Chain A
């Protein structure tokens, strides 16, 4: 190796390492794309993946609910705030079911099947849940912490986002908005 090539190779190696570090941090950083689009009322199309239905061999995706309002809720049995909002989501399910306008769709995140089933039984939840085993759907939605809820209108667009526990006021307003768009 020529003497002048040594600093060049060293700089190249350091630059490659820094680039890798930046990529790693950016890839794992917070993704606020959906939040910003919703805030600007430029409602983005809801990401969709076919995922196994909890307690069944079937799979389900948002395409199965085309033309309906969907309250997509990421949850897990180990998440304490999820327990607080479970009755609110069940009430939303009753409302959507009775009017025929749509459904709540739960997405379990890093949760064992048996624990998720125990949670559903404990809170008497009647809406379906799918299992996001590899966390890809959560990644699509920029989900970093539970619970998170996305309200999707009949055109499959996200019209409301809650990165935290939902209350009755948020859910009612978000469903009204989804029905109105």
Chain B
């Protein structure tokens, strides 16, 4: 194991110098089973101070769930282009870099391999998304969703594919995806609002996700009954901002 890490040390350093946006390449490198970097990740599991499980295998609850690997990869790529998430990752990197130093032997001598924060960040995004704590996943999906649907996107950024945050990724992440999707409900057309009302009235659990609702109740043609409107408002148990326009 030590030999393999030593022989690949140059590769790791090379990855460490990559800018954040290049992590899709780094992720590909890490996922390649012919590379020995997976050994380095196995070593990471032995770090007793690790606050986050960097195991490459999904948690037991998700092991029974069908995984959409292509959806996960697409979502991972979307995260890499999320400016808000970049800030979050920067904080993560700083936290990780202060905690994770793993003693290893290299060429027969004990040395301390300072785990590259950038590399760990890449691992976080690409392979261990499923093992992150729920609070962090909630924030990640919120930021990714907000960046995807932001009103004033950066013209230099590649065009966002909104399907990345809409299409189901896997069953384990569906809760967080729905939470982000329903968190801020604004800019709805008449037909979209009708569908939204029907969805929330039929499924009260989804209403609990809504924090902001801009409801076009004033649009001509919208004829909600009083019972339906009351059912909608009742189900919005956690709403903080209500705009009735």
Chains A and B belong together in one complex: no
- List chain A positions with a Cβ less than 8 A from chain B: none
